[in-house]
Amino acid sequence: MEKQAEKEFVKEITNMEEDFPRWYTDVILKAELVDYSSIKGCMVIRPYGYEIWERIQAVLDRMFKETGHKNVYFPLFIPESLLNKEKEHVEGFAPEVAWVTMGGSEKLEERLCVRPTSETLFSTMYAKWVGSWRDLPMLYNQWCNVVRWEKTTRPFLRTSEFLWQEGHTVHETQEESQEETIRMLNIYAEFAEKYLAIPVIKGKKTEKEKFAGAVSTYTIEAMMHDGKALQSGTSHNFGQNFSVPFDIKFQNREGKLEYCWQTSWGVSTRLIGAIIMVHGDNRGLVLPPRIAPLQVIMVPVAQHKPGVLDVCREVLDKLKKNYRVQMDERDNYSVGWKFNEWEMKGVPIRLEIGPKDIEKNQAVLVRRDTGEKTFVSLERIEEEVGSLLEQIQDNLFQKALKNREERTQSATNMEEFISKLEKKQGFIRALWCGKQECEETIKEKTGATARCIPFEQEETGGKCVCCGEQAQCEVIFARAY
């Protein structure tokens, strides 16, 4: 019976080594994270998926507030004339915005774009709010939905509408704005590594890849299980690129008017896609304990036998105090079916208790990440669960790191670049002369883009992988989602 159910479940998911994108789609649907809606490119986030987002929000929101940021809410719509104020910005975003042209039955005098990002709106208000250096810094953030009219979409990774947070700050000096930009990048990196168990590489985007309107864009880049990269969070230093056209001036300490210095930074529901693609396996989702909606699923074995449910409930009450735990008491599903369902949903620990366990005063703990079974005494159940959750969290991080290390190669010329990437999908570390031409040639020949100029430069002083001229810096190239 168990074997049968198992087979049925597993055959519904595509093998990840055969077709990773299809495996991804199978998992998000089967684990009930999202569903497709009738609106092209828009997803419905179901309770299990949304709970992951709520946990991401809770942790990040606390980190933002601890560093002095406050939440606000800005309008959904941006008048066309406002979007047009910063030239590079509008060129970057106009091709992919949704336009509102009618209100009720009336044609609007000016088209409104549904916000793809809110630099222009924040800048308008900052121009009104900032008076003197005493008002600075202004450190605001908003949690909201944004719309980018994408041609090809994939749930969480690229959707026409998505949820995110966008921080927007104004500063007195260039140095302070740069400190803020890096501070927020570090918060993203810490969050990804500590909570999502995803190792990330911090670096700077090339001119070609930076945000439309920014002076510099910084990024955290993660490697997915299949070796492709996912940009997982960005932090931008705008310099005075917005404060000049939007006229955001402040009276400085010498009493003179000066333009402000700005930043913005964001992460989105895309992080959920990263969790799935970094940790998942052929049995479904694998969720890091710190972010999992449910950390322990209790499955009573032979639950109709006298005493089983009573003991289970006692254990449940104990564990509830410190962990996110639930008991699956459904009587219309077999134990094997339940095992498979909760594995699919990526719950870090399965806790089984049956009549034989009760005799021995023990419970069975099964790790989702390794499948390993341990028998633990009911007296020590709380500590054992706690320590196992920590082990799982750590193991997931180490596994992801190992995958990244195995799939990171270096190349000194294009032949090597192409053949290494062909043999093993992953990151290619290579020296680069700094010319956009070479960046474009590499993309054409390999499909890999410059993910970032990593802060940690391992090699310097050689020749550009593409043109062979003097290199400026080391770059990480990869094909990306």
Find the helix or strand (DSSP H, E) in which 20 lies.
helix 20-30
User: Cβ-count burial of 136 within 10 angstroms (0-12 exposed, 13-18 middle, 19+ buried)?
Assistant: buried
Please state whether beta strands 449-454 and 200-204 pair in parallel, antiparallel, or not at all (unpaired). Answer: antiparallel
Which stretch in 37-45, 217-225, 299-307, 386-394 sits in contact with a second copy by CB under 8 A? Answer: 37-45
Residue among 26, 396, 392, 428 at smallest CA distance from 227? 428
Which stretch in 158-166, 171-179, 348-356, 417-425 sits in contact with a second copy by CB under 8 A? Answer: 158-166
Q: Which is nearer to a second copy, 61 or 258 (CB)?
A: 61
Residue among 212, 181, 243, 215 at smallest CA distance from 116? 212
Q: Which of 1, 66, 105, 415 binds a second copy (CB under 8 A)?
A: 105
Q: Which is nearer to a second copy, 79 or 355 (CB)?
A: 79
Q: Determine, following the binding rule CB under 8 A, whether residue 255 of this chain makes contact with a second copy.
A: no
Residue type, 421: L
Contacts of 308 (CB under 8 A, 6+ apart): 300, 301, 302, 353, 354, 355, 358
In the complex, what is the shortest distance from the CB of residue 340 to a second copy, in angstroms, rounded to a whole number? 18
Q: Is 380 in contact with 67 (CB distance < 8 Å)?
A: no
Q: Determine, following the binding rule CB under 8 A, whether residue 73 of this chain makes contact with a second copy.
A: yes
437 half-sphere exposure, CB direction, 13 A CA radius: 7
Q: Which of 1, 11, 66, 101 binds a second copy (CB under 8 A)?
A: 101
DSSP code of residue 15: P
Q: Determine, following the binding rule CB under 8 A, whether residue 147 of this chain makes contact with a second copy.
A: yes
In the complex, what is the shortest distance from the CB of residue 92 to a second copy, in angstroms, rounded to a whole number? 12
Q: Which is nearer to a second copy, 101 or 152 (CB)?
A: 101
Q: Which of 68, 75, 131, 447 binds a second copy (CB under 8 A)?
A: 75
Q: Determine, following the binding rule CB under 8 A, whether residue 74 of this chain makes contact with a second copy.
A: yes
Site string for a second copy, 314-333 (x = CB under 8 A): ------------------x-
d(CA 472, CA 254): 39
Q: Which of 30, 46, 249, 435 binds a second copy (CB under 8 A)?
A: 46
DSSP code of residue 380: G
Q: Determine, following the binding rule CB under 8 A, whether residue 259 of this chain makes contact with a second copy.
A: no
Residues near a second copy (CB under 8 A) are: 35, 37-39, 42-47, 50-51, 53-54, 70-79, 82, 94-105, 111-112, 114, 121, 124-125, 128-129, 134, 140, 144-145, 147, 149, 160-161, 163, 332
